Structures are given as structure tokens and as C-alpha cells.
Structure 1
Amino acid sequence: MKKTVLLICSGGASSGFLAQNIRKSAKKKGLEVEVIARGESELVDYMDRISMVLIAPHLSYIKDDIADQLSNTNIPYQVIDQMTYGTLNGDKGLDIIVKELGLE
């Protein structure tokens, strides 16, 4: 079953590249994972179809706000570490998703 992950960012190019790299990594491993990079304000638009939320490290200060928005759901969220985000490491990004969603 396909998992959809929302990557919350400030709408920059880097998060789009990271999302693309995670999709490539998932495809190589035969996992059905879709990653969509959007701004925090769009979270509510995606809540009915996402499995997880990833938060860009420079937005870690909104983690509590995200937690509040997800409080009535079973949707997990995680802040991406700076190294994974900064190097646009799709494999490491996918690892976070796999661990959180138990896809192993």
C-alpha cells in the first residue's frame, strides 16, 4: 500500500530535491512512498491522505504547532536532521520514514 509523506518546508527548492531523492530511493527499494513538499499552511489540505509528516530542520520551531494540528490523528511526525536535509540524502530520508511507519 502506498504511503504519502508530507515534507513541511518553507517552499524552497532544497526540500523539493530532497523529496525527489527520497522518491528515487524508495523506488530502488521497491517501496511505494510518495513525498510531497509543501508549506506548513497546507498541512490541513493533506491530512486526509498522508501517512506521516516530515519537518525541515530549519522549521523545528513549528513542531509543537504541527503536533497540535495532528493531535486528533494517528499521523506521526518527525523533524529531519540537519545532515540528511543539508546533503539532500534520499536514502537517509527514506530510513526515517521506514522506521517511523514500520515499512521494513
Structure 2
Amino acid sequence: MRILVVCGAGASSTFVAQRVRHAAQDRGLPYTAFAGTEQSLPIDLDAADVVLVGPHLSHALPRIHADAAHRGTTVVLLPADIFGDLDGTRTLTLVRDAIGAAGGSAPIAGAPPPA
């Protein structure tokens, strides 16, 4: 499972990616996590199974949803308090819940279906 964490400039996403990567490793899960920015998203999406979108990018969610839908990538809008998840376990739970809800496919979590 390849998890892309996206924020505006890449700083906060780096911390979230590192934390969720460690949480997955602690549980023996074969997940990788990497950080990206809103600008690098079109390229980074090709390497991701799940995209975690920083709460400050909620305005871009419809565009991210559309870009991810073409690739079958699950999108999750992170809650505003996610940066307090210091050990990554809560973020990992969000990923696992989104994947479980997808049932093996990749619906988009946290966003309305396309019109």
C-alpha cells in the first residue's frame, strides 16, 4: 500500500507521512508513505494507492477527487486536528478504514461522488 500525504508546501505532510509509516511498520503492515505538495500531486498520484489530503486543502478536494478517480486512487480528507496524532496510529486507522470501506476497490472517501 502506497500512501501519499499532500499539503500545501510539503512540510506538514512530511511529518504525517513519517508518523503513519512508523505506525504501519510497528504493526508489520507493508505500507509506505511519502509526502507531496498540491503542485506535485498530478505526478505523485501515479505512485499512490491512497491520498491523504491535508485539511487546509479542502478547497481543492473536488479537483483532487477528479484526478484520483481516473487512477482508481482512494482519497481521504484528513481532520483538522490530525497534526496532533504524534504516533501516526490515528492516521493509520483512517487509511485502513478507507481501504476497508472500499472493499478492495477504490471509492473516494471524504468527498462527494462526481456529478
Superposition TM-score, scaled by structure 1 size: 0.85
Match of 1:91 among 77, 89, 92: 89
Q: Give the aligned residue type for 1:69.
A: D
Gaps of 5+ in 1: none
Report the alpha carbon displacement of residue 11 of structure 1 after superposing the two structures with TM.
Answer: 2.1
Cross-structure match for 2:64: 66
Report if aligned partners of 1:17, 1:88 keep a CA contact under 8 Å in 2. Answer: no
Cα shift readout 1:25-82 (whole Å, capped 9, x = no counterpart): 0011111111111112212212332101110001111001101212322111011011
Find the aligned partners of 1:12 and 1:43 in 2 and give their Cα distance.
11
Superposition TM-score, scaled by structure 2 size: 0.78
Report if aligned partners of 1:11, 1:37 keep a CA contact under 8 Å in 2. Answer: no
The two structures, once aligned, show a CA RMSD in angstroms of 1.7
Gaps of 5+ in 2: 101-115
Moved over 3 A (4+): none
Percent identity (aligned): 27
Secondary structure of residue in 2 paired with 1:47 = helix
